Amino acid sequence: MGNDGNGDRGVCVKLEDRRASSRRLPDEGPVECVAEARLPTEVGEFRILGFRHRASHEEFVVLAKGEFSADRSCLVRIHSQCLTGDVFHSVKCDCGRQLRRAMEMIEDEGVGAIVYQQQEGRGIGIMNKLRAYALQDQGRDTVEANLELGLAVDGRSYEGCAEVLQALGLRRLRVLSNNPAKISALEAAGLIVDARVPLEMPPAGENLDYLRVKKEKMGHLLSGV
């Protein structure tokens, strides 16, 4: 859709975006779109949307590009917030580089979405994550540290993210992830995962041990560690 014969591609894209965004503001359903705006970035130009879950009030931020269609398999990533990696460029984990790479791949493809899920530290929150980091400084790995603090190793749930993707009008996905739990959660929510697209960053800094633990104790699909 969207080829209206208008020779001015810029205007055409804008008109398409406007139509898409009006479709994308559902009056009912589990999540509501609170706002949508353009977001120029170092990687390219995106749209940024804010969603709120009507029941839990959990908030999601979506970075989106291009026009979505239920028929076409769309490149998506569910990115779990990592303040230390995404903002401070920590090399204890690979999150920040994964986010940047996902943005670059969506920019290259021209269509795609990143759901930024605010479940810091696999759901334990930033303060507990820093407590876990302190234990890691004493030699525990990421799983051992959480267990020692009496916290879940992975407390995330992805149902809300699936509902956001559905509210965006998406049905078929190619999911940028190394985490099989994300794939199964999206499928369980009724979305069709046509492919898992690996998002493996070469080990950098101190994160080789972290990636090994993710692979060996958490079932992540990583070939390079």
Return residues touching Zn ion (CB under 5 A).
82, 85, 93, 95
Compare residues 24 and 214 and give the one whose CB is closer to Zn ion: 214
Query: Residue 83 Cβ, how far from Zn ion at the closest point, in Å?
Result: 8
Compare residues 82 and 113 and give the one whose CB is closer to Zn ion: 82
For residue 74, what are the CA distances in angstroms to 89, 142, 194?
28, 32, 9
Distance of alpha carbon 211 from alpha carbon 175, whole angstroms: 19
Compare residues 82 and 132 and give the one whose CB is closer to Zn ion: 82
Annotated active-site residue in 101, 156, 171, 174: 156
Q: Which residues pair with 195 in a beta bridge?
A: 174
Query: Residue 86 Cβ, how far from Zn ion at the closest point, in Å?
Result: 7
Query: Residue 183 Cβ, how far from Zn ion at the closest point, in Å?
Result: 19
User: How many residues are there in the chain?
Assistant: 225
Annotated active-site residue in 154, 172, 194, 196: 154
Compare residues 85 and 123 and give the one whose CB is closer to Zn ion: 85
Query: Residue 207 Cβ, how far from Zn ion at the closest point, in Å?
Result: 9
Distance of alpha carbon 169 from alpha carbon 26, whole angstroms: 10
Catalytic residue flag (residue 154): yes
Q: Kindly list the catalytic residues.
A: 154, 156
